[in-house]
């Protein structure tokens, strides 16, 4: 499923932040309902916060970012980010801040602030993004009096990673006695309140002086300026086929999946052939129609179809019980009689357990259990406090790394237990993940590398992906404008909604 022409911060970043025309300030706040806003009660901005298309775009904009619409990385909070000198083994990066940039508190950002941030955080950023796989050469950060908005990073040895290792990293510092433990640099300040996350515009000319973002549902009779993100009632406890498609004039792809994450060390599920067979017997189309009102898509890998790295030649595995039965026979899991349970080579009945986030899964559990039973597999879906390792799989929601689609921390052999598929060990996939992560630090990533990763994940099948989700967007009449199209590849899609008139 993510910030002074010479007078203000907003004008200084006119190419990135301000449309050509400017409207009068709205007398009332814009209220955004239903959006799963990221939490801010951490000691530092989280990647989810900075990548959020609302909060990260307006309150904690990144120094540099990956723009999928342009298919390149670009400076964003920075006016310039480039390697300006390389001689022998040495290299120098130059970062230039726009004029008039301010912290949430209103204090001007000084070159020394940027210098301190890089001295403190740059090495950790590199280590985090590479799983400690890239060496961090010795470096020094300096400023120059005659270039008061510039900061330089002098590398003793030219690093293997590029300057866009700063993608998704915001300029922040600790703050006290404000309710949020940090502050960022951005055109909007951020506050956490009982009503939701409140963004206050700091610069003149902003269309909405205040934006309130809440995950709460909008009241049916609510008036005023509002946007509402409506989600299907996923896995509703209704009869199969009873729920019709959600009516939606404008939908938005979300980097969120529902999936069964298989235990890659389980007695049966450790075999990728068995995992692929389980996907053949999972009726994902029925789950999408009956459980999500068709407000979603079927995908063949943990990527949005809109991502330039999604390989469209890789087709979604079909729902085919006959094929699943044949594959199970080949794997040695046979039935003594047509309707008997399947047994393994030792004669044990083939039983699988799924851990689920809630006890009453209604239609989802029933659809999956019935399909598995048709092939002779006994499946139980249960809510439990037991560790996930005690189950054959976990029915879960998965937030994808968007826009990077960098799965190094989720699918690499060195990823921790919180990864997307912990326990996956494949040397070829590891190398591909490492190469793609490194490519993301350059100006133009090679998305063909991500397509290779897509194909490898498809073969390994660590997940059975049930659906990729979408949201339906509605607006109040007092919002005062027609909504334009939403292009998920455009990192400024939300800003376009609040900044584009009729």
- Whether 421 has a pLDDT exceeding 90, the answer reads no
- Answer whether residue 213 is part of any domain: yes
Confidence of residue 361 (pLDDT cuts 50, 70, 90): low
Least confident of 5-14, 276-285, 299-308, 327-336: 5-14
Confidence of residue 207 (pLDDT cuts 50, 70, 90): low
Distance CA 476, CA 398 (A): 30
- Whether 117 has a pLDDT exceeding 50, the answer reads yes
Distance CA 416, CA 414 (A): 6
Q: What is the pTM of this model?
A: 0.88
pLDDT top residue among 178 and 277: 277
- Answer whether residue 380 is part of any domain: yes
- Answer whether residue 495 is part of any domain: yes
Q: What is the pLDDT of residue 502?
A: 36
Produce one character per residue of 80-114: b if its CB has 16 or more CB atoms within 10 Å, e if not: ebebeeeeeeebbbbbbbbbbbbbbeeeebebebb
Q: What is the pLDDT of residue 157?
A: 96
- Whether 328 has a pLDDT exceeding 90, the answer reads yes
Claim to verify: residue 162 and residue 281 sit in the same structural domain = no
Question: What is the number of structural domains in the chain?
Answer: 2
Confidence of residue 417 (pLDDT cuts 50, 70, 90): low
Claim to verify: residue 378 and residue 295 sit in the same structural domain = yes
CATH assignment of the domain containing 27: 3.90.76.10
Claim to verify: residue 486 and residue 340 sit in the same structural domain = no
Claim to verify: residue 206 and residue 318 sit in the same structural domain = no
pLDDT top residue among 312 and 244: 312
- Whether 227 has a pLDDT exceeding 80, the answer reads yes
Task: Identify the residue whose tokens are 């775009």.
Answer: 57
Claim to verify: residue 16 and residue 45 sit in the same structural domain = yes
Q: Which tens digit of pLDDT belongs to each residue from 257-276?
A: 989 999 999 999 999 999 99
Claim to verify: residue 36 and residue 185 sit in the same structural domain = yes
Claim to verify: residue 176 and residue 31 sit in the same structural domain = yes
CATH assignment of the domain containing 274: 3.10.105.10
Claim to verify: residue 374 and residue 266 sit in the same structural domain = yes
Q: What is the pLDDT of residue 158?
A: 96
Claim to verify: residue 360 and residue 304 sit in the same structural domain = yes
Average pLDDT of the chain? 85
Q: What is the pLDDT of residue 242?
A: 40
Confidence of residue 325 (pLDDT cuts 50, 70, 90): very high
- Answer whether residue 231 is part of any domain: no
Claim to verify: residue 493 and residue 456 sit in the same structural domain = no
Confidence of residue 370 (pLDDT cuts 50, 70, 90): very high
Distances (CA, A) of 464 to 33, 225, 368: 31, 40, 12
Phi, psi of 454 (to 5 degrees): -55, -45
Claim to verify: residue 185 and residue 41 sit in the same structural domain = yes
- Answer whether residue 58 is part of any domain: yes
- Answer whether residue 375 is part of any domain: yes
Confidence of residue 223 (pLDDT cuts 50, 70, 90): low
- Answer whether residue 235 is part of any domain: no
Distance CA 208, CA 186 (A): 15
Distance CA 197, CA 60 (A): 13
**Residue 382 is inside which H or E element, if any?**
strand 378-383
Contacts of 251 (CB under 8 A, 6+ apart): 295, 470, 471, 472, 473, 486
Which range of residues forms the domain containing residue 429?
252-471
- Answer whether residue 240 is part of any domain: no
Q: What is the pLDDT of residue 333?
A: 96
Distance CA 73, CA 58 (A): 18
Q: What is the pLDDT of residue 404?
A: 96
Q: What angle do CA 141, 142, 146 make, to 5 degrees?
A: 155
Distance CA 452, CA 431 (A): 11
Claim to verify: residue 185 and residue 331 sit in the same structural domain = no
């Amino acid at each position: 499923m993510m910030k002074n022409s010479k007078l203000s911060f907003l004008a200084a970043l006119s190419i990135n932040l301000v449309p050509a025309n400017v409207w009068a300030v709205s007398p009332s706040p814009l209220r955004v309902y239903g959006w799963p806003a990221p939490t801010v009660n951490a000691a530092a901005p989280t990647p989810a916060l900075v990548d959020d298309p609302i909060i990260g775009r307006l309150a904690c904009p990144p120094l540099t970012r990956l723009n999928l619409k342009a298919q390149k990385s670009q400076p964003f909070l920075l006016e310039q980010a480039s390697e300006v000198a390389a001689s022998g083994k040495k290299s120098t990066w130059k970062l230039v801040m726009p004029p008039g940039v301010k912290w949430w508190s209103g204090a001007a950002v000084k070159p020394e602030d940027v210098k301190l941030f890089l001295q403190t955080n740059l090495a950790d950023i590199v280590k985090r993004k590479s799983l400690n796989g890239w060496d961090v050469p010795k470096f020094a950060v300096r400023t120059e009096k005659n270039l008061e908005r510039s900061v330089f990073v002098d590398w003793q040895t030219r690093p293997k990673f590029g300057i866009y290792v700063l993608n998704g990293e915001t300029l922040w510092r600790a703050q006290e006695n404000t309710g949020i433990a940090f502050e960022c640099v951005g055109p909007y300040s951020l506050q956490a309140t009982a009503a939701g996350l409140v963004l206050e515009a700091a610069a003149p000319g902003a269309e909405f002086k205040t934006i309130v973002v809440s995950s709460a549902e909008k009241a049916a009779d609510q008036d005023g300026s509002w946007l509402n993100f409506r989600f299907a009632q996923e896995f509703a406890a209704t009869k199969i086929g009873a729920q019709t498609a959600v009516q939606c004039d404008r939908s938005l792809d979300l980097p969120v999946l529902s999936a069964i994450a298989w235990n890659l060390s389980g007695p049966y599920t450790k075999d990728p052939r068995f995992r692929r067979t389980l996907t053949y017997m999972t009726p994902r189309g029925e789950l999408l129609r009956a459980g999500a009102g068709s407000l979603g898509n079927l995908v063949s890998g943990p990527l949005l179809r809109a991502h330039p790295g999604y390989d469209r030649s890789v087709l979604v595995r079909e729902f085919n019980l006959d094929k699943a039965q044949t594959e199970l026979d080949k794997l040695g899991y046979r039935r003594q009689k047509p309707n008997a349970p399947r047994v393994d080579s030792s004669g044990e009945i083939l039983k699988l357990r799924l851990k689920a986030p809630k006890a009453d899964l209604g239609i989802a559990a029933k659809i999956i259990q019935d399909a598995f039973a048709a092939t002779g597999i006994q499946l139980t879906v249960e809510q439990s406090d037991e560790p996930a390792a005690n189950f054959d799989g976990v029915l879960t929601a998965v937030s994808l790394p968007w826009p990077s689609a960098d799965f190094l921390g989720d699918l690499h052999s060195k990823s921790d237990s919180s990864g997307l598929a912990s326990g996956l060990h494949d040397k070829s996939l590891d190398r591909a993940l490492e190469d793609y992560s490194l490519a993301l630090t350059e100006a133009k990533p090679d998305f063909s590398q991500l397509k290779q990763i897509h194909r490898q994940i498809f073969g390994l099948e660590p997940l059975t992906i049930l659906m990729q989700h979408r949201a339906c967007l509605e607006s109040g009449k007092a919002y005062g404008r027609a909504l334009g199209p939403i292009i998920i590849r455009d990192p400024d899609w939300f800003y376009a909604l609040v900044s584009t008139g009729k």
